[in-house]
Amino acid sequence: MKPLRRILIVGGGSSGWMSAALLARLFQGMYDVTLVESEEIGTIGVGEATIPAIKKYNELLGLEENEFMARTQASFKLGIQFENWLRKDQSYIHGFGVIGQDWEWLRCHHYWLKAHAMGRAEDFAAYSINTAAALENKFVRAQTQMGDSPLAHVAHAFHLDASLFAKFLSGYAQERGVRRVEGKVVDVKLRGEDGFIESVQLADGQVLEADLFLDCSGFRGLLIEGALKTGFVD
Hey, which residues are catalytic here?
77
| Three-state DSSP class for residue 75 | strand
Q: How far apart are CA 24 and CA 214, in angstroms?
A: 14
Those residues with Cβ within 8 angstroms of residue 66's Cβ, 6 or more apart along the chain or in another chain: none
DSSP state of 153: G
- Secondary structure percentages of the chain, helix, strand, coil, to 5: 35, 25, 40
Q: How far apart are CA 230 and CA 227, in angstroms?
A: 9
* Among 45, 36, 34, residue whose Cα is nearest residue 12: 36
Alpha helices, DSSP H, located in 118-229: 129-135, 162-175
**Can you name the residues that pair with 192 across neighbouring β-strands?**
none
206, HSE (Cβ side, Cα atoms, 13 Å)? 9
Contact 181, 8 (CB under 8 A): no
Contact 183, 199 (CB under 8 A): no
Contact 6, 31 (CB under 8 A): yes
